[in-house]
Amino acid sequence: MTRNPDVPEAAVTRLAAYLEALERLETQEVATTSSAEIARHAGVNAAQVRKDLSYFGEFGRPGLGYDVANLRRSLARILHLDREHLVILLGSGRLGTALLGYPGLAQRAFRVAGVFDSSPRVIGQELCGHRVLDVRNLQEFNREHEVKIGIICVPTAQAQAACDQLVAAGIRAILNFAPVSLRAPPHVLVRHVDVTRELQALAYYLAD
């Protein structure tokens, strides 16, 4: 899953957190900031912020700190958020619908190119401005659109099949919401967001 072995994967994820912090600072019209302030916003150590940034270049000036707007732009560029990313949604149930309507996606330049499902009950229906398409047309669809990112919101039992279909359609990265570990070829990145797993971990620490 890790591609650039020099940059810890955790550092990349934190970069997104720093970006959020910078956006907040920018709306508060803060022009200049420090690693300590970013760290406070992101809930990490200040040295961690500097180290993470150092993987990608030098963005600050000793004694002065960082220019908020500049650093925000730099981080956005590093994360490739300076251009739009198309995503394909697999599964139009409650979670898929929630994501479709989630403004956070568009705010970060992620645009849903297509919504797919396998159930005849929903195929063809309109959902948040998207016609739900038949998953059997996924490969054909993506020959034209060349979407790189797929999001799996199907029930557990169908998640691996959904993954295989995305891979066959040429997808390069998958965000999986189903509570199963997926098997995918090594050239396909898979990230797993598992609500139940998180809750179960919380429950562990709640011994009475």
Partner DNA sequence: ACTTGTGAAGCATTTCACAGCC
Partner DNA sequence: GGCTGTGAAATGCTTCACAAGT
Here's the x/- map for DNA, 13-52, by CB under 7 A: it reads as --------------------xxxx-------xxxxx-xx-
What does 56 bind: a second copy, DNA, none (CB cut-off 5 to 8 Å by kind)? none
Applying CB under 7 A, among 28, 29, 43, 63 the residue interacting with DNA is 63
Strands 126-127 and 130-134: antiparallel
Strands 110-117 and 130-134: parallel
How far is CA 154 from its chain centroid? 17
Q: How far is the CB of 40 from a second copy (least distance, A)?
A: 9
CA 167/CA 160 separation, integer angstroms: 10
CA angle 52, 55, 61 (to 5 degrees): 75
Q: Are 177 and 162 in contact (CB under 8 A)?
A: no
Applying CB under 8 A, among 19, 68, 132, 163 the residue interacting with a second copy is 19
Interacting residues toward a second copy by CB under 8 A:
3-4, 9, 12-13, 15-17, 19-21, 24, 41-43, 78-81, 85, 87, 94-95, 97-99, 101-102, 104-105, 107-108, 110, 148-149, 156, 172-173, 175, 179-183, 189, 191, 193-207
